[in-house]
Amino acid sequence: HQTIYLKDYTPPSFEVLSIDLSIQVFDDHTLVHSKLVMQRLTSGDLILCGRDLELLNISLNGNALTPQDYEIDPEQLIIKNAPDQAEFAISVKIHPESNTQLEGLYQAGNLFVTQNEPEGFRKITFFPDRPDILTVFTTRIEADKKYPTLLANGNLVEKGELSDNRHFAVWHDPTKKPSYLFAAVIGDLAVLKDSFTTMEGRHVSLEIYALAQDLPKCHVAMQALKDSMKWDEDVYGRPYDLDNYMIVAVSQFNMGAMENKGLNIFNTVCVLADPEVTTDPAMFYVKSTIAHEYFHNWTGNRITCRDWFQLCLKEGFTVFRDQSFSTTLQSPAVQRIDDVSSLKSVQFAEDAGPLSHPPRPDHFVEINNFYTATVYDKGAEIARMMANLLGPEKFRQGTDEYFRRHDGQAVTVEDLVDSLSDGSGVDLRNFLPWYSQPGTPCVKGRGSYDADAKTYTLTLSQSTAKRHNYPEPQPLPIPVGVALFDKETGEQLTLNSTVLKQSEVAENNIKDGIFVLDQAEQTVVFEQVNAEPVVSLLRNFSAPVLLDFDYSDEDLAFLLEHETNGFNQWQAAQMLLERVLLQDHNPAVYLNAIAKALPQVAKDDALLATRLLDIPSENYLASRIDQEYDPAVVHQKRDAVLNALADRLKDYWADAYQSLPIVEFKDNSVEMGKRAYRNMVLGFAIRAGVEGALDWASEQYDNAVCMTERLGALRHLVWNKANNAQDKLDDFYKRFKHEDLALDQWFAVQAGNPQGSVQVARELMEHPEFDWGTPNRIRSVTGNFSGNPVLVWTTEGMQFYTEIAKRLDQQNPVLGSRILQFLSRWYTLKEPLRSEAKNILQGLKGEVNSTSVCETLNNVLKA
């Protein structure tokens, strides 16, 4: 397998002026005919990518080509000395009916759909399948009338009947787009329709296609779509540009969703929502994914990536945009907590292991392996840091400039940063190294108060571990949110009244409480500080870094109590808990602080209260342990903290639970907060041994009016081995047997059970409803099982994952590679587990062939 390097990028030698595509679907094959009009740009060979295609015929400028006229290998067709104007007619045969990889055109049940990002289009026909080739697509789709739905991007220009009970539709997309944004759908779907009028007065028809029985579950997505369209107009001044916007729901899909121009294709889990079968967090995820894909229309589609190394250009920026949109749906503090919590548990962990890579990688074997938390979530943090430094007005000037300069182009990360800099008048180019340097920087610091001089001196330094194959890490610009609080009164001090003395710190380096640490070490002196302060750092998680400050536990408890927003309170609680769990600090300070803060927070904002009760996950804790990791010890420590917390507030849980009766379902953040809090409180009540708490769970299960309540109760019953746990599981199964997404939850609850076992997980995969063709179902077992490292890091657990990776290696390598990533931190284990892990992983070598799985396995073994 070949490594591809960013430095080797060369512009294409031909452009494609237009493509006419004809897709004829038959039961046992599909024919694809294309007419490509190409025009030379520079010297060089004409290269058409193609994989798994049966070439039927090819002609160039009207002359049939014979095998002597071109070179062909399993990946491409090359024509040397092609004329400057080259018009190709190409016919190929493909097999969507047996395509299990879910890339290109594939059949999923009664539906044919495409997934072309990043390199699926080459599995549909020969084409220069690279994102910097944009062209105009006209698509004719033909199929049996048992498939009444025939969709492609753009506008429907013609449809009609054919002989043999067949019919066709022709679609024309006026916008130039790269091939990865091409989409087609053939099937029998119902449609929910609505409309939106843009700020420019364009009337847009909105259509969500799904199986008829799922149509009632599409209203939440439709509303989210309209809200997103409005939000992008209000916040970024970006209206939609076509006359229709279609979304299609498919149950067999590798990704969450795909932003194909005007024709999004969505995993059902990201579009269907109904309180009876969908939990609140899952419903929230639907809304934010709808927003994410919609926002791609400007950041991704109209301005796309020059090459796949630039993936974070569209993904990082778009995640930042969907996160910003989501703060309109719930409290900004909770939104930030959830984003940071996922960043720390997934991205920090990734960056701490052998799969660490920069947000813009400089080499890869298989680009499918780079749809990662680093590209998406760290990419979003970089966009956020720049946006925060500029403030809303200047950031808007910057993004306006980006859209003005690059609409219709395929560009790079540098183009974005240049536009933001030039548009705002603030040079942000010093942020570029964030895109190319891997690893999580660690900010260390200490502070001291001089009572006589009334100064507070803050010294911060940064360091990043060097990574194999990358240059010595350089200091990055790290915006550090700073506030000082009076230790006596708890009041926040005004930083404006303080003066910066240190000459090496440019005066504009501290603005609105943000200090940009851009050297290896810097010192700031705050003056006129009349009493000893407590400093709060990295407020709102102003940069994606680890913080190691010489706080006392009492300082952190103080911040948990006095910080002015929920995110910063949460952050203080997390820091305190990490000390308890990783450094064996006494939990008393944490317990006192949380016991004091919780009841009030719960009254004001129940959702925030659930987050304050977060205990860092075992996987996150493991990511902070680089050697001699003993999963059982981490589990026991975490369990002990949970038990202590449960005991400490035993009476409170009982009261709190009873004061939160089940009420009619409402989809708003206040009610969502109450439901989440009720589930959490119930869990602590059970853990504390509150009398009757398990009965409350049974009653909640029986009386639930929505899935959040029912599933929450079921989880407690199953995970606590309640006597009736199996009855309730059986009941759940009967109720939701025909609801795939609810059934996924039935698998998930059992696979994620901390009291479970590899055997349980294996049995779930033998269940008649388990389906190797549906990634959601596979993930419901593999993903949830991975939440229990004590079970994963056993001989059987590791073999479980390597066997699945091996099975998926051919069938669905993208997914197989993901599953192998669960084992990436094997080398941190204490012996003898470490050696055993190594043996098991090495045993997989030679057993797998796909580029995706092989690249991941090789990298994992390099650790």
**Site for ligand DPP, rule CB under 6 A:** 117, 255, 257-259, 292-293, 296, 315
Q: How many residues contact Zn ion, by CB under 5 A?
A: 2
Q: Which residue is nearest to ligand DPP (CB)?
A: 258
Q: Residue 25 touches which of ligand DPP, Zn ion, none (CB < 5 to 8 A by kind)?
A: none
Nearest residue (CB) to Zn ion, 254 versus 522: 254
Nearest residue (CB) to ligand DPP, 59 versus 409: 409
The CA distance from 448 to 337, in Å, is: 29
Q: Residue 344 touches which of Zn ion, ligand DPP, none (CB < 5 to 8 A by kind)?
A: none
What is the bridge-based pairing of β-strands 546-549 and 442-450? parallel
Nearest residue (CB) to Zn ion, 373 versus 791: 373
Considering only CA atoms, give the Rg of the chain.
Answer: 28
Residue 622 to residues 480, 791, 802, Cα–Cα distance (Å): 26, 14, 20
Nearest residue (CB) to Zn ion, 266 versus 826: 266
User: Whole-number minimum distance, CB 119 to Zn ion, in Å?
Assistant: 16
Could you write out the DSSP letters of every residue in 85-99?
Answer: EEEEEEEEEE-GGG-
Nearest residue (CB) to ligand DPP, 178 versus 752: 178
293 is catalytic: yes
Q: Which stretch binds Zn ion (CB under 5 A): 25-33, 311-319, 470-478, 612-620?
A: 311-319
The CA distance from 584 to 640, in Å, is: 12
Let me know: does 183 contact 114? Beta carbons within 8 Å: yes
At residue 573, the 3 state secondary structure works out as helix
Looking at 119, 293, 709, 855, which residue is catalytic?
Answer: 293
User: Whole-number minimum distance, CB 773 to Zn ion, in Å?
Assistant: 24
User: Whole-number minimum distance, CB 6 to ligand DPP, in Å?
Assistant: 19
User: Whole-number minimum distance, CB 256 to ligand DPP, in Å?
Assistant: 7
Q: Residue 72 touches which of ligand DPP, Zn ion, none (CB < 5 to 8 A by kind)?
A: none
Q: Which stretch binds Zn ion (CB under 5 A): 35-43, 248-256, 310-318, 392-400?
A: 310-318
Tell me the CA end-to-end span of the chain in Å, nearest whole number: 20
Nearest residue (CB) to ligand DPP, 142 versus 259: 259
User: Whole-number minimum distance, CB 413 to Zn ion, in Å?
Assistant: 15
Let me know: does 38 contact 68? Beta carbons within 8 Å: no
Residue 257 to residues 6, 130, 251, 294, 519, Cα–Cα distance (Å): 27, 20, 11, 11, 40
Nearest residue (CB) to ligand DPP, 300 versus 477: 300
Torsion angle in degrees (nearest 10) through CA of 852, 853, 855, 861: 160
Q: Which stretch binds Zn ion (CB under 5 A): 313-321, 444-452, 605-613, 676-684?
A: 313-321
In the DSSP assignment, the letter for residue 721 is T
User: Whole-number minimum distance, CB 259 to ligand DPP, in Å?
Assistant: 5
User: Whole-number minimum distance, CB 257 to ligand DPP, in Å?
Assistant: 5
Q: Cβ neighbours of residue 239 under 8 Å, at least 6 residues apart?
A: 198, 199, 200, 202, 232, 233
Nearest residue (CB) to ligand DPP, 257 versus 646: 257
Nearest residue (CB) to ligand DPP, 143 versus 257: 257
Nearest residue (CB) to ligand DPP, 255 versus 426: 255
User: Whole-number minimum distance, CB 296 to ligand DPP, in Å?
Assistant: 6
Q: Residue 129 touches which of Zn ion, ligand DPP, none (CB < 5 to 8 A by kind)?
A: none
Q: Residue 117 touches which of ligand DPP, Zn ion, none (CB < 5 to 8 A by kind)?
A: ligand DPP
Sheet holding 76-79, edge to edge: 46-49, 76-79, 71-72
What is the bridge-based pairing of β-strands 244-250 and 263-267? parallel
Q: Residue 257 touches which of Zn ion, ligand DPP, none (CB < 5 to 8 A by kind)?
A: ligand DPP
User: Whole-number minimum distance, CB 795 to Zn ion, in Å?
Assistant: 38
The tokens for 644 are 């202590």
Q: Residue 690 touches which of Zn ion, ligand DPP, none (CB < 5 to 8 A by kind)?
A: none
- Cis-peptide, bond into residue 832, ω within 30° of zero: yes
In the DSSP assignment, the letter for residue 567 is H
Let me know: does 403 contact 298? Beta carbons within 8 Å: yes
Beta bridge partners, 108, equal: 111
User: Whole-number minimum distance, CB 207 to Zn ion, in Å?
Assistant: 21
Let me know: does 280 contact 299? Beta carbons within 8 Å: no
Beta bridge partners, 663, equal: none
Q: Residue 618 touches which of ligand DPP, Zn ion, none (CB < 5 to 8 A by kind)?
A: none
Q: Which stretch binds Zn ion (CB under 5 A): 155-163, 317-325, 521-529, 654-662?
A: 317-325
The number of angstroms, rounded, from the C-alpha of 218 to the middle of its chain's C-alpha atoms is: 22
CA-closest candidate to residue 786, choices 271, 438, 349, 252: 349
CA-closest candidate to residue 721, choices 690, 745, 697, 705: 697
486 conformational bin, left if phi > 0, alpha if psi -120 to 50, beta if neither: beta
Nearest residue (CB) to Zn ion, 178 versus 566: 178
Helix, strand, coil: what percent of the chain each, to 5? 45, 20, 30
Q: Residue 255 touches which of ligand DPP, Zn ion, none (CB < 5 to 8 A by kind)?
A: ligand DPP
The CA distance from 311 to 377, in Å, is: 12
Torsion angle in degrees (nearest 10) through CA of 6, 12, 17, 22: -70
User: Whole-number minimum distance, CB 127 to ligand DPP, in Å?
Assistant: 19
Catalytic residue annotation: 293
- Binding residues (CB under 5 A) for Zn ion: these are 315, 318
